[in-house]
Amino acid sequence: MKLETQSFGTLEYDDKAVLELREGLLGFAQHKRYLLVENEEIRPFKWLQSLDEQHVSFPVIDPHLVIGSYVCALTLEDLHSLEIEREEDVVKLVVAVIPEDPLQTTVNLKAPIIINHKRMSGKQIVLSNSDYHTHQPLAFGNPG
């Protein structure tokens, strides 16, 4: 299948690569289907590209690259709703805000996106009992 995007041009993808976020992302509940776009030129970032709207995409990054000791305790409800059986099935991502000056990039560690990569389903959760910030400055190599 093909998707014309504003940021990445034409993307070819297989149905098996579609990530379903049943509840969407915060503020974007109507967008439920995404592709995870990876490219050497943008590493360590990836992009969540909406299949529902070609103009909607979000830069994301593994939170452990920001804070090595990042902990995201999932509730039993989260584990059940995502059908997570093993820790190895989980991929965690956080949304980044990349301003004009990339040195001012921040990430939202308070609301990670939890993905069951075996089922290609996920959801964004808000960590209510954590000291993580919604605008954590990006500093690679921070052992945390």
Number of domains in the chain: 1
CATH number at residue 58: 2.30.290.10
pLDDT at 54: 87
pLDDT at 143: 47
Residues 6+ apart with CB under 8 A from 142: 66, 67, 68
pLDDT at 64: 95
At 46-67, the pLDDT tens digits run 999 999 888 899 999 999 999 9
Does residue 66 lie within any of the structural domains?
yes
Q: Is the peptide bond before 44 cis (omega within 30 degrees of 0)?
A: yes
Does residue 112 lie within any of the structural domains?
yes
Task: Give 137's DSSP letter.
Answer: E
Cβ distance 96 to 134 under 8 Å? Answer: no
The distance from CA 80 to its chain's CA centroid, rounded to whole angstroms, is 19
Measured distance CA(22)–CA(32) in Å, rounded:
6
Residue 11: pLDDT band (50, 70, 90) is confident
Task: Give 98's DSSP letter.
Answer: -
- Structural domain of 83: 2-137
Residue 141: pLDDT band (50, 70, 90) is very low
Q: SS3 of 80, please?
A: helix
Q: What is the mean pLDDT of the chain?
A: 91
Q: Which residue has the tokens 């996106």?
A: 113
Does residue 142 lie within any of the structural domains?
no
Cβ distance 136 to 104 under 8 Å? Answer: no
Low-confidence winner among 26-35, 107-116, 135-144 (lowest mean pLDDT):
135-144
Across residues 70-96, what is the average pLDDT? 92
pLDDT at 40: 85
Cβ distance 86 to 98 under 8 Å? Answer: no
